[in-house]
């Protein structure tokens, strides 16, 4: 009988999470019922949204239950199938969680989707051609909706979402400016991903310095901002937004661990006639096909660049996740499970 | 020769404005050139936006110049015309400023518009069928865009804008909840204007108390909020917004006199997938005809109720304006000039 290593949520963090909030368990892989599929995971995706799920209380999603396998996106291979929809050997993407195997009901409402790895690497379906890429696409094209010639800024620009935002903005004729932490990430954002500029928030580390750096990097002001972090950077951005600017709220990683971080000057929403809108990509399923088509084509043709940080083995997932929250990853954070 | 009494801005306020910031001057009414019209003002409109114009520095509008006549909407009667477009006796609405008379260029780009007082009183063109009414209409129908059955909250609910927001929301099948200061205003909002409920912010005077009062007044949560004040009330509202709620930023009177007032928890924009949007009614001129048609019909048929606070004489304008900023008015604040 095959053993399945899993990571469960052992306790909820009080403030900053630690490895003690997680626990490794081993369970036997159960026999399949009719209509079920056994997937062996090749890669697990680690994403900032998981931090929110670790907390109790009202959010847009149910909290991650204690002692249950941590939620997470996975890609892998069907190793056994009792469903006519899947065959052993099929490459699939799904929400398999922090574990080596998952048993999935392959019904029409199932979360499992076959993918083609001829031109797109399997792992990319967790990044540029997966949830992070679609998140970038939806926020950019449906909330920011930039016109050619406008300036779009994105924070966490070297991350899986941020990197795609800037590259998609470039294809639409925009000036793309990133914000990232450290000279290596900033260099990659400009040199590899093709952004026009990137600001190091570790150097420009207060509102005044960031605002000044934004003025230099965005000589025509800011028309669209893709928000991944919150806090000081948002305050600095708002000071530089042009009239009728749009801000897509995708993540606010700086507020995950405790007290909410206030917005310094909300009256700028009125003064600059801004639109601020929060969104969650899973609530826009109708947009996924168009997004995946553009993103898949761009990756297959080498026009959408991305990096991956890969941790090895399910045991490494908690440490890699904590590193992601501290910005230690470089590009999409994955855990390789085979 | 006719003498024109005018109020000019004598100095910019440091913090809270006072009567010393204004000065009364008297000048002769000049002779008309070809294409010009002399209007005798019957009413001057006092509005919160004027406070913003008194400050120096970046805002959406040019600051009011020192020693120039204060900007302001007026209704009146043409007393002399050298333009074929207007005749003596015409009732007109325009931006005549804080003075008894104005000389207006009646060209196609002119701000002067003839109005029909058969079914709508002249003063209403400064309120329910004027800029405040259109402001309510644009924010409600184009930003909040409520569906029947939804709950819409508006602050400064007994004011010219707020009162129209709630009544327009009712015609669209919504639950309308106001926020106002004091039992008299709250009673008027419910009993005269027909709101479903009104919360007294002087009783519920912190975020916790206001949030609790909102929970009782809005048992199904809040879908749309029309923001006229900012500060504590906005924070309390955000805690009660339903997923996909919309907030129209029309004014933030609480921040006019000094330091910006922060928004306590902007991460709720993401958590509740809110849309926050600032707007200025003068930038949506394409919407005015439809707005004025609905508002004019509602006033003429008694379906849109409003109150007026009327100060007498141009000399009374500064004191009445300061009272408006402190919420001492009841409904639309006007100055009667004849």
Give A220-239 pLDDT, tens digit per residue: 999 999 998 888 999 999 99
Token reading at A246? 């749009």
Rounded Cα distance, A6 and A25, in Å: 5
Please report which helix (H) or strand (E) contains residue B212, including its range: helix B207-217
Whether chain B has a CB inside 8 Å of the CB on A267: the answer is: yes
pTM: 0.89
The pLDDT value given to residue A213: 98
Residue of A nearest to B252 (CA): A267
**Residue-wise pLDDT tens digits, B226-262:** 998 888 999 999 999 999 999 999 876 655 566 788 9
**Chain A to chain B Cβ contacts (< 8 Å):** 104
Which is it for strands A151-155 and A197-200: parallel, antiparallel or unpaired? unpaired
By C-alpha distance, the chain A residue nearest B254 is: A267
Helix H or strand E segment including B103: strand B101-105
Q: Is the pLDDT of residue A314 over 80?
A: yes
Min Cα distance B256 → chain A (Å) is: 9
Contact A266/B at CB under 8 A: yes
Q: Do A265 and B262 touch (CB under 8 A)?
A: yes
Do A260 and B266 make contact, defined as CB atoms within 8 angstroms?
yes
Let me know the angle formed at the C-alpha of B307 by B303 and B312, rounded to the nearest 5 degrees: 145
Cβ-Cβ contacts under 8 Å for A326 (sequence gap 6 or more): none
Q: What is the pLDDT of residue A260?
A: 82
Q: According to the model, what pLDDT value does residue A143 have?
A: 97
Task: Report, as an integer, the average pLDDT of B45-59.
Answer: 84
How is residue A193 written in tokens? 């991903």
CB of B275 within 8 Å of a chain A CB? The answer is yes
C-beta atoms of A267 and B255 within 8 A: yes
Q: Which residues of B272-309 are buried (b: 16+ CB within 10 A; e: fewer)?
A: bbbbbbbbbbeebeeebeebbebbbebbbeeebbbbbb
Q: Which of B278, B280, B281, B284 to mutate to test binding with chain A, by most A CBs within 10 Å of its CB? A: B278
A134, A272 Cβ separation under 8 angstroms: no
B153 — pLDDT class (breaks 50, 70, 90): very high
Nearest chain A alpha carbon to B284: A273
Chain A residues within an 8 Å CB radius of B251? 270
Residue A263 has its nearest CB partner, among B250, B252, B262, at B262
Q: Which residue of chain B comes nearest to A57, CA vs CA?
A: B271
Looking at the complex, does the CB of residue B277 fall below 8 Å from at least one CB of chain A? Answer: yes
pLDDT score of B59 more than 70: no
Among all residues of chain B, which has the CA nearest to that of A284? B273
The answer to whether the CB atoms of A275 and B277 lie below 8 A apart is yes
Contact A276 B275 (CB under 8 A): yes
- The verdict on a CB contact (< 8 Å) between A277 and B272 is no
Interface confidence, given as ipTM, is: 0.87
Would you call B265 and A270 a contact, using CB atoms and an 8 Å cutoff? no
Distances (CA, A) of B195 to B173, B177, B205, B214, B266: 12, 6, 21, 14, 29
Residue A310 to residue A44: CA distance in whole angstroms: 10
For the record, the structure tokens of A305 come out as: 């660049």
pLDDT of residue A58: 59
């Amino acid at each position: 009988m095959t053993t399945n290593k899993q990571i469960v949520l052992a306790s909820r963090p009080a403030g900053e999470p630690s490895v003690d909030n997680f626990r490794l368990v081993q369970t036997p892989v159960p026999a399949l019922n009719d209509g079920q599929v056994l997937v062996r995971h090749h890669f697990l995706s680690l994403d900032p949204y998981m931090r929110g799920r670790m907390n109790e209380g009202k959010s847009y999603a149910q909290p991650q239950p204690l002692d249950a396998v941590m939620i997470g996106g996975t890609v892998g291979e069907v190793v056994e199938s009792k469903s006519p929809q899947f065959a052993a050997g099929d490459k699939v993407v799904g929400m398999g969680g922090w574990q080596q195997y998952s048993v999935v009901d392959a019904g029409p409402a199932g979360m499992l989707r076959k993918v083609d790895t001829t031109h797109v690497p399997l792992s990319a379906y967790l990044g540029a051609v997966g949830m992070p890429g679609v998140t970038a696409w939806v926020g950019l094209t449906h909330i920011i909706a930039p016109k050619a010639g406008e300036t779009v800024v994105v924070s966490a620009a070297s991350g899986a979402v941020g990197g795609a935002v800037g590259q998609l903005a470039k294809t639409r004729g925009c000036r793309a400016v990133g914000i990232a932490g450290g000279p290596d990430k900033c260099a990659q954002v400009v040199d590899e991903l093709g952004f026009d500029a990137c600001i190091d928030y570790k150097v420009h580390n207060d509102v005044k310095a960031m605002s000044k750096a934004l003025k230099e990097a965005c000589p025509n002001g800011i028309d669209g901002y893709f928000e991944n972090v919150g806090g000081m950077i948002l305050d600095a951005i708002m000071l530089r937004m042009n009239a009728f600017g749009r801000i897509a709220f995708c993540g606010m990683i700086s507020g995950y661990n405790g007290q909410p971080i206030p917005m310094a000057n909300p009256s700028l929403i009125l003064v600059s006639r801004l639109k601020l809108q929060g969104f969650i990509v899973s609530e826009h399923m109708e947009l996924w096909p168009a997004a995946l088509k553009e993103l898949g084509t761009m990756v297959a043709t080498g026009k959408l660049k991305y990096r991956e940080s890969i941790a090895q083995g399910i045991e490494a997932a908690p440490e890699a996740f904590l590193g992601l929250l501290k910005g230690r990853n470089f590009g999409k954070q994955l855990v390789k499970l085979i």
